[in-house]
A and B are shown apart, each in its own frame.
Chain A
């Protein structure tokens, strides 16, 4: 149980374009989803917390107009990187937390974004 998927796994785009990443909880309802980014050989950095039906809460230093998060249903959250630039290239990982799962977060497989 507690499977989280992400789509796409890997994306390459041109500078200035927007990219949407989906995060889905497959076998449970995720009241809260978290978006992280990870640079090579570094740890996970929390970008934002997304609750179903409400606005996301962004961590300090994360531009909310650049990283748009939508959590329209209990099984889907999306992260859109708008006007992507090469410095946005990174590994983006989502995690989901369901009702009654205490503090455990289950991670998706990640999306590697490369901006040319």
Chain B
């Protein structure tokens, strides 16, 4: 059965800290891994990773995919309170399997 597992489930840090969120996957038809940030409503797109070993960056956020070990990480440096959210990853091709998310809380 296809599955996507995220860790940790929940994380509390202080502003300025760096965090690493993990996503491992076992998905039969896999082409891409997606990362989303979900605050109070629907998820907003962060990254799509298709190739192994190529880091994608957007400001303080970066992500990389390892297709051999079947995992991805999302790094957030110099965290801010506005980074508090649930971070979701999803793996698949046409359809995606979502993980249960990592709930990040950044304290001022």
Contact = CB atoms under 8 A, between A and B. Distances in A.
B32 interface: yes
B32 A103 contact: yes
Contact of B88 (A44, A49, A102, A110): A44
Contacts of A67: none
A34 B95 contact: yes
A103 B98 contact: no
Given A44-B88, A46-B95, A104 B100 contact: no
A12 to B, nearest CB: 18
A32 B92 CA distance: 15
A103 B42 CA distance: 18
A84 interface: no
Given A42-B100, A43-B98, A43-B101, A107 B48 contact: no
Contact of B92 (A43, A103, A110): A103
List the 5 closest pairs (A to B, CB-CB), nearest first. Answer: A107-B42, A103-B32, A43-B100, A110-B42, A43-B98
Interface of B: 31-32, 34, 36, 41-45, 48, 50, 88, 90, 92-101
14 contacts: A34-B95, A42-B100, A44-B98, A46-B96, A46-B98, A93-B42, A103-B48, A103-B93, A103-B96, A105-B45, A105-B96, A106-B45, A107-B36, A108-B42
